Each structure stands twice: as structure tokens, then as C-alpha cells.
Structure 1
Amino acid sequence: MAEPIIIAVPKGRILDEALPLLARVGIEPEPAFADPDSRALRFATNRADIDLIRVRAFDVATFVAHGAAQFGIVGSDVLMEFDYSELYAPVDLGIGHCRLSVAEPAALAAKDDPRGWSHVRIATKYPHVTRSHFARRGVGAECVKLNGAMELAPVLGLAPRIVDLVSSGRTLKENGLVEVEVIAEVSSRLVVNRAAFKTRSAVVPLVDAFRRAVEAPAPAGA
């Protein structure tokens, strides 16, 4: 019997939106997956040929690119940051909508004009995307790499601006920050390891199943 196909799913907000989609594809994780006390990272599903692993959102792309998992669900922000050639992203899943934005303190924004920037110091976990974005405008970007608590950077003088994901904008507002520029609209994608796509017969039918689940109308009451 062939080894199970492994689907890497992200911890956090996207996972809550991904689970109903997985169910529509016919994939339901074992009960331990929903146990908040479980420290397991790999889970069986109702299908003997499919397992799930639950990892950090930024690590989903790495697991799939290197073939440790054959599929993954990951935000387009992560794909832009890493740009792995080994990844194929055939389906926009239509979940995890947000935006990647530049933000700064409201007091600075009141007198600031992004069109006049020539050099910026920015705290972000997206240094590649950030530098590329500003380079296209001829602006030098000095990036301070952080993995979280981005909103503290301007408050504590680490960097006057941040680049981060924004959904409702509530976190920015509560920390005295405002958006001044949107770099990209973000949604979650189904990603596939390119080698697995070519060599494992079960991969293409599963891609098609995800595509149908996205295109089909949501069940009543969903």
C-alpha cells in the first residue's frame, strides 16, 4: 500500500475556514485533531490514504516544497515571500481573505506622504516582499525581521513603520497605527509539490476535488 498523501494545514484563523472546505472534499480529521489538549502534529483522517499535519502557516510552504507533504493550504502572502519553484498553486480556495499593508502611527501618517519616501525602515516578517515592493518604486527598504508583535515596533522605536497582514484593522487601531498603503490582497491557496503532481496518481484527482468544492455553492445554512 502506498504511503498516505500528507496535507499540511496552518494553525490559527485559516484553519477554521479550511475545515469546512476539507469536509466538502470528503476529508475529516480524527477526533484528536479538535482536542485543544493534544500535542500531536500528525493526524489520521476518515480516508486511509490521507493524513493531515498541523504546522505554522509559514512552514506549510516549506514542508510541501521539500516533499515532506504533498499538499498544503497556505496564504498567498507566504507564497510571495518564499517563491518556491517546487510549489504549484492550482486553486485559490477563496478563504483567509486579508491584505498585506504598510502601517505607521496615526500621528506620523497625518503629516506623511508615501509618494515622497526615498528610504524606509520597516519591521516585518515579510522582508523579501517588502524590499521588492519598495524597489519597484525606487525606494530603499531597511527591514527589521520580526515574527510577531509587529505593532510594538513603532511604539518602542524599533522601526517607524511595519508591513503586516491586516484583516479588520482592529489590532492596528488599538495600537495607534493606521494603514497607509496596501501591498497585496491575500487569500489562501491549495499548493502541491510539483514532483508529487507528476508522479503520484492520486494527486490530480484530489486537486480536482478541491476545485469542485470551491466552485460548488456552499451548503444551505453554512
Structure 2
Amino acid sequence: MKKITFALPKGRLFSQSIEIFQKSGILNENIDQNTRKLILESKDFKFLVVRSKDVPVYVESGIADIGVAGDDVLLESNPDVYKPVDLKVGYCNIVVAGKPEDKEFYFSNPSNISVATKYPKITQEYFSQKGINVKIYELYGSVELAPLVGLARFIVDIVETGTTLRENGLVVIEPIRPSTAKLIVNRISYKLKSEKIFPIIEKIEEYLRN
């Protein structure tokens, strides 16, 4: 039978995910992402090393059976997948940030604001709920630059320690919601490969309970 395929995001979340798989007993080998290879294999599994934003695409399409993605990515892309387990890693907060002197304007109940972000869907929904018209500048690089050069007054981004904000003279103005990494599963794989996928989910859940 074909190996179960995981789509994992590059970077620290990859390492944290592999550690959970090892400690839960579903993976007995060491998987090192420090290689140019984009497909890594163990005895029982295949791992696709992808950008975090691409994980839901690979899982929803069925190229990968299982993936690991943060709430920020899942809320933005809203993929049609199962989300059976909160892995309790990758803690971040999705926030509104800006210059300290713009705090008063933000909380003055403005009717219009401008926001730079990598998360246009999350941003639009959040400010729509607040009844604020928002002009969104979608960026793919460092959004912290936008308020500094006058592109947008505020940003919506994920923040872990806040160091990058502080180094650029920005502050968290309002938290939107926390974000952690979730195990996600392709809906067809969940049904057709249940004899392999259910034990994976159960072992991870058991490990996380202890």
C-alpha cells in the first residue's frame, strides 16, 4: 500500500511536527529538513516540504493525506479538510499593529482605515464585523515596512515575540485571535485510508494528553 503523505511547512514548525510524530510513536526515524530535497521519506511515510501557505492546497487536493498548518493559514484559505487535532505548537497571535501615536486614531471609531497584510480575508472579515471600511494592501514581504513609509496606517500580521514590531517602532494595537498549529486531513483519505490515519490521530492525541 502507498505510504501516507504529509505536507509540512518549512522551518521550526517542521521540526516541532516531526518531534511530535516521534514522541507519539508514529515515527521511529529522524527526518532532517536541512537538505535541498523537497520530498523526504521514512519507512512508512513521505514528507513534502512546502511553504506554510501551500500546506492546505496539497492536503485539500489529495496530493498529501495529512498536513500541519497554523490557524492563520487555515482561516485565510478556508480549505475543505478535517482538522482533528490541535498540536499545541506554533503559538502566535494575529494582531492589528501600528505606530504608537496612531493608537488614539484607531480607537476613535474611524469609518475608514488602511491596512497592509498577508491576510486579506482575515483582515476584511475582522473589520467588517467592526463596521469599519478597510482599504487593504496585500503584501508578500515584511508588512512592518508599510506604516513606516506611509503605504498603510496599520498592519495585520502574526506575532510571536513582538521583536520585529519593536525593532521597527511599532506596537500591538489590538489582538484579533491566537493561532496554533493544527493537524489537517484530506477528506477522502480520512475515509479510504482510515486504517492507517485513525491510529496516527489517536497516538498524537494520546501523546498530547499526557
User: Aligned pair 1:51/2:51, yes or no?
Assistant: no
What is the identity, as a one-letter code, of the residue corresponding to 1:50? F
Match of 1:68 in 2: 63
Give the corresponding residue for 1:140.
133
Q: Distance in 1 between matches of 2:92 and 2:18?
A: 18
* Pairwise CA distance, 1:117: 2.3
SS in 2 for 1:195: helix
Distance 1:152 1:29, change over 3 A: farther
Question: Which amino acid counterpart does residue 99 of structure 1 have in structure 2?
Answer: N
* Partner Cα separation in structure 2 for residue 167 and residue 78 of structure 1: 15
Q: Which amino acid aligns with 2:85?
A: V
Please state if 1:123 is matched with 2:116. Answer: yes
What displacement does 1:114 show?
2.8
CA distance in 2 between partners of 1:133 and 1:28 (Å): 42
Q: Secondary structure at the match of 2:88?
A: coil
**Paired letter, 1:107:** E
Give unpaired runs (5+ residues) of structure 2: none
The counterpart of 1:99, out of the listed 93, 96, 101, is 93
* Equivalent in the alignment of 1:153: 146
**1:203 match:** 197
Q: CA RMSD in A?
A: 1.5
Cα distance, 1:29 vs structure 2: 5.3
Contact in 2 for aligned 1:72/1:191 (Cα 8 Å)? yes
Tell me what 1:19 maps to.
Answer: 18
Q: CA deviation at 1:60?
A: 0.7
Number of corresponding residues: 208
- Specify the alignment match of 1:42 in structure 2: 39
Identity rate, percent: 34
- Contact 1:29/1:43 (<8 A) preserved: no
The corresponding residue for 1:220 is none
Cα distance in structure 2, aligned partners of 1:49 and 1:115 = 57
For residues 91 and 21 of structure 1, do their structure 2 counterparts lie closer, same or farther at Cα, with a shift above 3 Å needed?
Answer: same
The answer on whether the counterparts of 1:123 and 1:163 sit within 8 Å (CA) in structure 2 is yes
Q: Which runs of 5+ in 1 are unaligned?
A: 217-222
Q: Distance in 2 between matches of 1:205 and 1:9?
A: 19
Spell out, residue by residue over 1:44-99, the C-alpha distance to the aligned partner (whole angstroms, 9 max, x if none).
12xx22111111111111110111100011101111111112x1100000101110
Q: Which amino acid aligns with 2:166?
A: K
Q: Deviations over 1:155-180 (max 9, x none)?
A: 12221110000111111010011111
